[in-house]
């Protein structure tokens, strides 16, 4: 994502908790900073994308966080999938300092990030969101302003709820075809472009068939997302039994040692329930 911003002509100052992960960007001209605070001191717009809400809190509002290094007029953009309430907290804290804040979680996985085709769901002030249009265009393909602070995160919860139950369907369907003795790539020709088609089926289905469970998105992060969605649903007195089922299945998958595999590794847990040693194609 940073690479796409640099290709669009923006200069970049970067911080990663593991410095070696920034080597490729530094070799392309990005400058290194030792803390998020130092990034903010050298920047007009500060983007963050980390793992968990507690990471967001530290990177944005901690003593060495981005807000601490921001000056009036700076824009903080958190692209982590995180708590809607935390997005509001950051917005309010930034406002007190004359700094703008936007929550902008993304969907599209590693493929979307690499290809610059992410779906970006944005919460924040309309004029600030519009001012960042060149940045959104560099990283994403579907860019939608959803409303005020926290609206981007709430929209991402809708996205994750859709994915959670859809992934169960993708894995169970491929498991059914496998057990029935069908040729799965041939099955895909019939079902992937019809009413049953989905991004997960088209993009992760082939990985499942290849027995490739490398992460585009970690299981442990997906569990975190579903937990946030279920907590928000509880606040709204909303029953989401399908999401709750998916959450439990993924917790089981994590317990089997697959927390750092991709979300499509659910296939392994469901195969085990039926006593099947999944071999893919």
Q: If phi over 0 gives left and psi between -120 and 50 gives alpha, with beta otherwise, what is residue 60?
A: alpha
| Closest of 270, 229, 239 to residue 252, by C-alpha | 270
**Residue 91: its pLDDT value, please?**
98
CA distance 114 to 218: 16
Residues with a known catalytic role: 156
Residue partners of 43: CB distance under 8 A and separation at least 6: 13, 74
**Residue 280: its pLDDT value, please?**
80
- Note whether 2-148 and 155-273 share their fold: no
Burial 149-165 (b: 16+ CB within 10 A, else e): bbbbbbbbbebbbebbe
Domain boundaries, the chain: 2-148, 155-273
Q: Residue-wise pLDDT tens for the chain (281 aa)?
A: 999 999 999 999 999 999 999 999 999 999 999 999 999 999 999 999 999 999 999 999 999 999 999 999 999 999 999 999 999 999 999 999 999 999 999 998 888 999 999 999 999 999 999 999 999 999 999 999 999 999 999 999 999 999 999 999 999 999 999 999 999 999 999 999 999 999 999 999 999 999 999 998 999 999 999 999 999 999 999 999 999 999 999 999 999 999 999 999 999 999 999 999 998 87
Residue partners of 150: CB distance under 8 A and separation at least 6: 84, 85, 87, 88, 91, 103, 123
CA distance 219 to 248: 12
Q: Give yes or no for a contact between 12 and 6, defined as CB atoms under 8 angstroms apart.
A: yes
User: In the beta sheet, which residues pair with residue 46?
Assistant: 76
| CATH for the stretch 155-273 | 1.10.1040.10
| CATH for the stretch 2-148 | 3.40.50.720
CA distance 74 to 67: 9
CA distance 90 to 78: 9
CA distance 279 to 166: 22
């Amino acid at each position: 994502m940073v690479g796409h911003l640099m290709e669009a002509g923006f200069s970049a100052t970067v911080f990663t908790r593991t410095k070696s992960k920034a080597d490729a960007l530094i070799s392309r001209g990005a400058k290194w900073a030792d803390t998020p605070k130092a990034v903010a001191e050298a920047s007009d717009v500060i983007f963050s994308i980390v793992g968990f809400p507690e990471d967001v809190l530290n990177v944005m509002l901690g003593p060495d966080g981005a807000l601490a290094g921001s000056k009036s007029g700076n824009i903080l953009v958190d692209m982590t999938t995180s708590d809607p309430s935390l997005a509001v907290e950051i917005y309010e804290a930034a406002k007190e300092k004359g700094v703008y804040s936007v929550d902008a979680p993304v969907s599209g996985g590693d493929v979307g990030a690499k290809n610059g085709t992410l779906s970006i769901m944005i919460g924040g002030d309309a004029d600030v969101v519009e001012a960042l249009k060149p940045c959104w265009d560099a990283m994403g393909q579907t860019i939608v302003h959803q409303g005020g602070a926290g609206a981007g995160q709430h929209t991402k919860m809708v996205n994750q709820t859709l994915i959670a139950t859809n992934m169960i369907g993708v894995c169970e369907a491929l498991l059914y075809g496998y057990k029935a003795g069908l040729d799965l790539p041939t099955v895909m020709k019939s079902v992937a472009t019809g009413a049953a088609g989905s991004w997960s089926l088209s993009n992760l289905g082939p990985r499942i068939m290849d027995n490739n469970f490398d992460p585009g998105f970690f299981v442990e992060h997906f569990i975190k997302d579903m937990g946030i969605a279920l907590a928000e649903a509880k606040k709204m007195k909303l029953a989401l039994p399908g999401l709750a089922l998916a959450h439990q299945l993924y917790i089981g998958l994590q317990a089997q040692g697959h927390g750092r595999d991709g979300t499509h590794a659910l296939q392994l847990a469901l195969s085990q329930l039926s006593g099947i040693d999944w071999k893919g194609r």
